[in-house]
């Protein structure tokens, strides 16, 4: 493949239509000056993306265009270029152009190029709608939105970028204006960037009664690395409000997690602040963590466990952790079990295995023990984990299989115990069920409802409180509450005929069902389905054989999971064995659409001789998703021929795009012309996507072909596509700073 963008010979040495970025800019400038309004807008956008310094003059001139959209696009393009040569005209547009978007782009650009002349005007904008500045009054009455509020926020940020400390009083006055918008969040962030005056203004809000104002000021101060913020920040970290301390702590920990002032928050009086402090920077103070494990707050203990890099070698502490693991609150016990497995496996594996096998423990605790065993990295835990793959608790079963897959994947020895345990699950056909024939995880009440059938009358539970307003009305009986508290007569309230009719309708509502929280799946089916899916993470030949064997399984979900896993394994392995390919082809003959799509995807990596012919046969299928997968599979097999090139004109857009991706990936002498024609076809529907594909090929040749389109008046309807494609192909790889420097040299 020829990556022309990176290293291409001079266009004069190459045959055919080639173009440099300078030529593209010249054509864009011509369109900007003489094209119709739509093309002028696109040309301005393209020049901004290309980033050529030579475009500054034409774009500056376009700021006077009669069309507001063109002026807006030109101003935004100049914002990307950030060239000082446009500053005078941008300032004039800021003051005299009523278009809000132009003003916003002008402010941003003037701030980027550090034009101090705009500061007085920005201060006036912060104060209010200055009468000497043009505004679009009609827009306010048409949309109901005052565009000045957007310009005001942009002006505040620009003043901070310009470090205009003289504007601090203006920002403070604007925030205190009760009739104006709430701009404290933006203004506080701006003040933090405006040196000592801004920091002092921020500090003045630390004495406000409003917690919201103090919290925002605290976050802004903590995010600032200005030395003047040090003293007020120390006061903020001792604020009486936990939310203020929390906001300051989070901002400071993100900027400087080792700051010494943060250490005191590990002992904060508020439980939530302490826990968050340990989570954010407790790992930087490992000596403090053992003491925090004895904290009265469960949340703090859990955070300390997570922050530890290794568990202290302290027999008394380990004994204490073992007690908490079996007798503490479930959340803490689970966290302790997980931490012990990861950070002290030598001392805890036996206890964790026993905890995992204890069915009297809450599922949350056993799940923590399972995760601790899995994270220990020891192969000795495989049997303990495998023993719970048939557990009543579905979360434990699924987590156990995931853990075994992780162990099997990293074990360099194959076959291994973890992998064999997972493979054995695919052949499971029966499982002990309860007497009613329902899986064990179905609740007894839900099972009774299933046995009774959908039309069975609902049993009334007199001890159950009504679960709806209608139920409360229907089941109402006079009692002390209605007679005393609600002051209702003992004989009740007389209902009108309308009330009686509504109640009768309510009694006859059908389809009222009780939703079950656990899926009603037979346990062995659930295990086999997940095993088939999780085995896709293990790239082993023996795994592919096992998955291929269940492609004709009685369970549709198992077949789908196996096909998906084979496809995922095929993406990582060099190729799937030929025998697996034969099984894939055989399964395709009777597969439903969803399964067929996955089988075709898996065939991309098959060594079977018939795979390519089968894939080509699916290029003409009715299902577009399967056709897309067939194209991608053939592309991966590097078998892109005329049958795929023909699909560039397919009625289905996803098929067309996949064919274009395959043609671009294959390359070839005619690939660029085909993709350019594809970009223009179908009213330019795929123009941008095609341009991105061409970036992988020869940018100069592709640009030349699009310039030919722009030079042809007969193709004027497709000029928009060509302009946008040229912008994509020639987008600047340097950025505004380099572009501005180049412009200064030209000047």
The pLDDT of 631-640, averaged and rounded, is 93
Instruction: Give the pLDDT confidence of 565-621 residue by residue, as tens digits.
Output: 999 999 999 889 999 999 999 999 999 999 999 999 999 999 888 899 999 999 998
The pLDDT of 181-195, averaged and rounded, is 92
pTM of the full predicted structure?
A: 0.77
Residue numbers of the domain that contains 62: 52-271
DSSP 15-76: -SS---HHHHHHHHHHHHHHS-HHHHHHHHHHHHHHT-GGGHHHHHHHTT-SSHHHHHHHHH
Q: What is the percent of the chain where pLDDT is above 90?
A: 67
Domain-embedded: residue 407? no
Q: Specify which residues 606 forms β-bridges with.
A: 576
Q: At what angle do helices 556-572 and 523-534 cross, to 10 degrees?
A: 20
Instruction: Give the whole-angstrom CA distance, residue 245 versus residue 219.
Output: 9
Domain-embedded: residue 693? no
* Average pLDDT of the chain, as a whole number: 85
The pLDDT of 70-99, averaged and rounded, is 93
Domain-embedded: residue 746? no
The CA-based angle 639-641-643, given to 5 degrees, is 120
Q: Which own/partner pairs from 609-614 qualify as long-range (CB within 8 Å, at least 24 positions apart)?
A: 609/578, 610/581, 610/582, 610/585, 611/581, 611/584, 611/585, 611/637, 612/637, 612/639, 614/585, 614/588
Instruction: Give the whole-angstrom CA distance, residue 88 versus residue 150.
Output: 22
Range in 93-97, 465-469, 529-533 with the lowest mean pLDDT? 465-469
Range in 115-129, 451-465, 689-703 with the lowest mean pLDDT? 451-465
Quote the tokens at residue 490: 């003992």
Burial class (CB in 10 A: 0-12, 13-18, 19+), 511: exposed
Specify the CATH number for the domain of residue 152: 1.25.10.10
Instruction: Give the pLDDT confidence of 466-486 residue by residue, as tens digits.
Output: 555 445 444 544 444 444 444
Split into its structural domains, the chain has a count of 1
Residue 148 has a pLDDT of 80
Per-residue CA distances from 450 to 388, 511, 596, 676 (Å): 27, 14, 34, 61
Asked if pLDDT for residue 402 goes beyond 70, the answer is yes
Residue 19 has a pLDDT of 73
Residue 175's nearest CA partner among 133, 146, 204 is: 204
Reported confidence tier of residue 515, pLDDT bands at 50, 70, 90: low
DSSP 280-315: HHGGG-GGGHHHHTT-S-HHHHHHHHHH-SS----H
Domain-embedded: residue 85? yes
Domain-embedded: residue 11? no
Residue 577's nearest CA partner among 551, 543, 537, 600 is: 543
Domain-embedded: residue 519? no
Quote the tokens at residue 51: 């980033």
Would you say 428 and 524 are in contact if contact means Cβ atoms under 8 Å apart?
yes
More confident residue, 705 or 523: 705
Reported confidence tier of residue 186, pLDDT bands at 50, 70, 90: very high
Domain-embedded: residue 645? no
Quote the tokens at residue 480: 């002390």
Instruction: Give the pLDDT confidence of 284-328 residue by residue, as tens digits.
Output: 999 999 999 989 999 999 999 999 988 887 888 888 888 999 888
Instruction: Give the pLDDT confidence of 709-742 residue by residue, as tens digits.
Output: 999 999 999 999 999 999 999 986 444 433 444 4
Residue 401's nearest CA partner among 379, 380, 425, 378 is: 425
Would you say 676 and 702 are in contact if contact means Cβ atoms under 8 Å apart?
yes
User: Highest mean pLDDT range out of 12-21, 336-345, 512-521, 534-543?
Assistant: 534-543
Domain-embedded: residue 28? no
Helix (H), strand (E), coil (C) string for 399-468: HHHHHHHHHHHHCCCCCCHHHHHHHHHCCCCCCCCCCCCCCCCCCHHHHHHHHHCCCCCCCCCCCCCCCC
Residue 117's nearest CA partner among 138, 94, 135 is: 94
The pLDDT of 552-571, averaged and rounded, is 95
Q: Specify which residues 576 forms β-bridges with.
A: 606
What are the backbone angles phi and psi of residue 576, rounded to the nearest 5°? -90, 145
Instruction: Give the whole-angstrom CA distance, residue 449 versus residue 461.
Output: 14
């Amino acid at each position: 493949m020829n990556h022309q963008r990176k290293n291409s010979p001079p266009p004069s040495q190459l045959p055919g239509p080639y173009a440099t970025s300078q030529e593209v800019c010249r054509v864009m400038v011509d369109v900007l000056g003489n094209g119709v309004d739509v093309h002028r807008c696109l040309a301005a956008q393209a020049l901004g993306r290309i980033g050529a310094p030579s475009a500054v003059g034409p774009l500056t001139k376009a700021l006077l265009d009669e069309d507001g959209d063109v002026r807006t696009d030109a101003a935004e393009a100049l914002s990307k270029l950030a060239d000082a040569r446009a500053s005078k005209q941008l300032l004039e547009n800021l003051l005299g152009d009523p278009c809000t978007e132009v003003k916003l782009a002008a402010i941003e650009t003037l701030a980027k190029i550090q034009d101090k002349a705009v500061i007085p005007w920005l201060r006036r904008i912060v104060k209010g709608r200055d009468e000497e500045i043009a505004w679009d009054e009609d827009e306010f009455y048409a949309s109901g939105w005052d565009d000045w509020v957007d310009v005001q926020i942009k002006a505040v940020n620009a003043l901070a970028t310009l470090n205009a400390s003289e504007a601090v009083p203006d920002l403070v006055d604007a925030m205190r204006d009760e009739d104006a918008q709430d701009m404290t969040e933006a203004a506080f962030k701006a003040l933090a960037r405006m040196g000592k005056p801004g920091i002092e203004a921020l500090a003045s809000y630390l004495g406000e009664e409003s917690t919201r104002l103090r919290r925002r000021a605290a976050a802004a101060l903590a995010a600032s690395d200005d030395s003047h913020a040090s003293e007020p920040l120390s006061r903020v970290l001792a604020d009486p409000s936990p939310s203020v301390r929390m906001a300051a702590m989070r901002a400071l920990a993100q900027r400087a997690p080792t700051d010494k002032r943060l250490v005191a928050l590990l002992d904060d009086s508020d439980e939530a602040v302490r826990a968050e402090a340990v989570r954010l920077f407790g790992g930087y103070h490992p000596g403090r963590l053992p003491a925090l494990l004895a904290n009265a707050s469960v949340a703090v203990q859990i955070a300390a466990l997570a922050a530890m890099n290794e568990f202290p070698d302290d027999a008394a502490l380990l004994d204490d952790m073992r007690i908490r693991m079996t007798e503490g609150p479930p959340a803490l016990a689970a966290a302790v079990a997980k931490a012990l497995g990861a950070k002290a496996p030598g001392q805890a594996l036996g206890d964790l295995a026993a905890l995992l096998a204890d069915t009297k423990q809450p599922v949350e605790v056993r799940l923590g023990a399972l995760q601790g065993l899995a994270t220990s990295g020891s192969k000795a835990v495989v049997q303990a984990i495998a023993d719970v793959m048939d557990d009543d608790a579905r979360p434990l079963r699924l987590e156990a299989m995931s853990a075994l897959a992780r162990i099997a994947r990293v074990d360099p020895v194959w076959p291994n115990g973890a992998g064999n345990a997972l493979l054995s699950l695919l052949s499971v056909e029966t499982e002990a069920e309860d007497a009613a024939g329902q899986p064990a995880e179905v609740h007894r009440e839900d099972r009774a409802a299933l046995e009774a059938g959908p039309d069975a009358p609902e049993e009334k539970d007199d001890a159950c409180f009504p679960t709806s307003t209608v139920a409360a009305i229907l089941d109402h009986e006079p009692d002390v509450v209605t007679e005393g508290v609600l002051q209702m007569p003992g004989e009740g309230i007389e209902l009108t005929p309308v009330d009686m009719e509504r109640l009768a309708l309510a009694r006859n509502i059908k389809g009222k069902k009780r939703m079950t929280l656990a899926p009603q799946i037979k346990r062995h089916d659930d295990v086999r389905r997940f095993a088939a899916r999780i085995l896709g993470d293990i790239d082993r030949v023996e795994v592919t054989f096992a998955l291929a064997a269940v492609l004709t399984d009685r369970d549709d979900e198992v077949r789908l999971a196996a096909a998906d896993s084979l496809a995922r394994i095929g993406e990582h392995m060099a190729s799937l064995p030929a025998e697996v390919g034969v099984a894939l082809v055989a399964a395709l003959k009777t597969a439903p659409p969803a399964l067929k799509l996955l089988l075709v995807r898996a065939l991309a990596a098959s060594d079977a001789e018939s795979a390519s012919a089968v894939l080509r046969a699916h290029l003409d299928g009715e299902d577009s998703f399967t056709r897309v997968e067939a194209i991608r599979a053939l592309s991966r097999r590097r078998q892109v021929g005329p049958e795929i090139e023909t699909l560039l004109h397919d009625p289905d857009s996803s098929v067309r795009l996949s064919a274009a991706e395959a043609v671009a990936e294959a390359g070839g002498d005619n690939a660029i012309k085909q993709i350019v024609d594809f970009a223009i076809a179908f009213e330019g529907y795929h123009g941008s996507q095609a341009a991105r594909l061409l970036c992988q090929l020869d940018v100069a040749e592709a640009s030349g072909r699009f310039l030919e389109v722009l030079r042809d008046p007969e193709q004027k309807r497709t000029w928009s596509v060509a302009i946008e494609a040229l912008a994509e192909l020639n987008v600047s790889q340097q950025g505004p700073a380099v572009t501005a420097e180049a412009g200064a040299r030209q000047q």
